[in-house]
Amino acid sequence: MGRHGTIANRKSAQDSRRAAMFTKYARQIIVAAKDGGDPDFNPSLRVAIDKAKGIGMPNDNINRAIKKGTGELAGESYEELQFEGYGPSGVAIIVDALTDNKNRTAAFVRSTFDKNGGNLGTPGCVSYMFSRKGVILIEKEDDMDEDEIMMMALEAGAEDMIAHEDHFEIQTEPTELTAVHEAVKEAGFEIAESGVEYIPSMEANVAEDAVKALNKLINTLEDNDDVQNVYYNCELDEE
């Protein structure tokens, strides 16, 4: 998603799309495992496995995805694609995809933008409005010391920490994500979400009559198996 809502809303959205989430995370594991099937020596795979376990993916599914990535089992070959465009009210949108059929995915993304008041653009048309950052979310608990968490994160290599309503958002350079992720785990904090994301540097205002179409555009994209992430530069309640 483009902007983090509450942890409860995020979990609710994941629960409603659990089967699709399994498919998406399995693809992430397959791609990461191409660089080695041992998570102790493959930081990208370790993060992908942690994310999969965080939504309750069974170990059998995870192990099967790893074997597909390493070639021990036959599997599909996935290509990474990125699309940029504008949604209703001029909201900037970036779509990351992993697909075994480039033409199918491109046609789906283009038609989804067209049908919901958006316009698919050229590479670079909106990405300048975002910064690529490592992001780690920790769910707030009553006994947590915000200063202690921030110091731990900064010492591990984080750039900043933002306190939200029900979670802390730690931001890092993409190259520092794995180190900070491991430091947070070793400190005993449960990670709700972790990954490299596009953080908007400028925010769009959404007209009231465009909210429904924008929600439909984003939800339709996120529900597709090929689409891994959708980033957008506005605040938007999940439906």
**Residues 46 and 140 reside in one and the same domain:** no
Quick one: 121 and 17 in the same domain? Answer: no
Pair (180, 223) in one structural domain: no
For the cut 60, the answer to whether the pLDDT of residue 238 exceeds it is no
Q: Are residues 99 and 110 in the same domain?
A: yes
**What pLDDT, in 10s, does the model give residues 169-210?**
999 999 999 899 999 999 999 888 888 999 999 899 999 999
Task: Say if CB 207 and CB 89 are below 8 A apart.
Answer: yes
32 domain residue, yes or no: yes
Indicate whether 49 belongs to any domain: yes
Mark whether 107 and 159 lie in a shared domain. Answer: no
168's tokens: 């802390």
Q: What is the CATH number of the domain that holds 89?
A: 3.30.70.980
Asked whether residue 122 falls in the same domain as residue 152, the answer is: no
44 domain residue, yes or no: yes
Q: Which of 109, 93, 90 is nearest to 101 (CA)?
A: 109
Q: Is 237 within the bounds of a domain? A: no
Q: Is 40 exposed, middle or buried (0-12, 13-18, 19+ CB in 10 A)?
A: exposed
CB 38 within 8 A of CB 72: no
Q: What is the pLDDT of residue 51?
A: 86
Domains in the chain, number: 3
| pLDDT the model gives residue 80 | 93
Residues 37 and 151 in one domain: no
Same domain, 147 and 51: no
Q: Specify whether 120 is located in the same domain as 142.
A: no
Write out the two tokens for 176: 């520092």
pLDDT digits 0-9 by tens, 34-56: 999 999 999 889 989 988 998 88
Tokens matching residue 180: 């900070």
Residues 134 and 187 in one domain: yes
Domain limit, last residue, from 49, 70, 91 = 70
Find out whether 36 and 237 touch, Cβ atoms under 8 Å. Answer: no
- Kindly state whether residue 147 falls inside one of the protein's structural domains: yes
Q: Distance between CA atoms of 77 and 171, rounded to whole angstroms? A: 31
What is the C-alpha to C-alpha distance for residues 230 and 108, in angstroms, rounded to an integer? 14
User: What pLDDT does residue 8 have?
Assistant: 60
**Are residues 51 and 61 in contact, defined by beta-carbon separation less than 8 angstroms?**
no
157-169 mean pLDDT: 93
Looking up tokens 């970036």 gives 94
Count other Cβ atoms within 10 Å, centred on residue 35: 13
Confidence category of residue 1, pLDDT binned at 50, 70, 90: very low
pLDDT of residue 121: 96
For residue 11, the domain's CATH number is 1.10.10.200
Q: What is the pLDDT of residues 90-110, one digit of tens each?
A: 999 999 999 999 999 999 999
For residue 15, what pLDDT is reported? 60
Q: How confident is the model at residue 19 (pLDDT cuts 50, 70, 90)?
A: confident
More confident residue, 155 or 8: 155
CB of 9 closer than 8 Å to CB of 139 = no
Query: Same structural domain for residues 114 and 139?
Result: no
Same domain, residue pair 159 and 123: no
Q: With bands split at pLDDT 50, 70 and 90, how would you rate the model's confidence at 113?
A: very high
Looking at the domain assignment, is residue 99 inside a domain?
yes
pTM above 0.75, yes or no: yes
The verdict on residue 2 lying in a domain is no
Note down the domain range covering 220: 80-128+203-232
